[in-house]
Amino acid sequence: MRRGDNFHTRLVNWAKIILPLIALGLLSTVFLLSQKVDLDHTLPVSDVDLAQRAHDQGVTNPSFAGVASGGEEVTFRASTVRPDPSDRDILLADDAQARMRLNGGGIVDIFARNGRTDQAKMTARLDGDVQVVTTTGYDIRTQSINARFNTLYAESPGAVTGTGPPGDLSAGRMVLTSDPETGNANLRFTDGVKLIYMPAKSKD
Residue 138 identity (one-letter amino acid): Y
Residues 17 and 94 in one domain: no
For 74-106, the DSSP string reads EEEE-SEEEEETTEEEEEEEEEEEEEEE-TTS-
Q: Which helix (H) or strand (E) holds 23?
A: helix 2-33
Is residue 101 in some structural domain?
yes
Tell which residue, 54, 100, 63, 108, has the closest CA to residue 81. Answer: 63
Mean of the per-residue pLDDT values of the chain = 76
Between CA 158 and CA 148 the distance in angstroms is 17
Between CA 109 and CA 133 the distance in angstroms is 5
The reported pLDDT for the residue numbered 127 is 93
Between CA 179 and CA 130 the distance in angstroms is 22
For 104-140, the DSSP string reads TS-EEEEEEEEEEEETTTTEEEEEEEEEEEETTS-EE
Between CA 164 and CA 138 the distance in angstroms is 4
Overall domain count for the chain: 2
Residues 75 and 117 in one domain: yes
pLDDT in tens, 5-16: 565 566 555 555
Is residue 26 in some structural domain?
yes
Q: Could you tell me what percent of the chain has a pLDDT over 70? A: 67
Residues 111 and 174 in one domain: yes
The reported pLDDT for the residue numbered 67 is 82
Residues of the domain holding 20: 1-31
pLDDT in tens, 105-114: 888 899 999 9
Residues 65 and 112 in one domain: yes
The reported pLDDT for the residue numbered 61 is 84
Is residue 40 in some structural domain?
no
Residues 21 and 100 in one domain: no
Is residue 7 in some structural domain?
yes
Is residue 92 in some structural domain?
yes
- Label residue 161 by pLDDT band (50, 70, 90): very high
pLDDT in tens, 58-106: 688 888 788 877 788 888 889 998 888 888 889 899 999 888 888 888 8
pLDDT in tens, 105-141: 888 899 999 998 887 888 889 999 999 999 889 999 9
Residues 70 and 153 in one domain: yes
Residues 109 and 21 in one domain: no
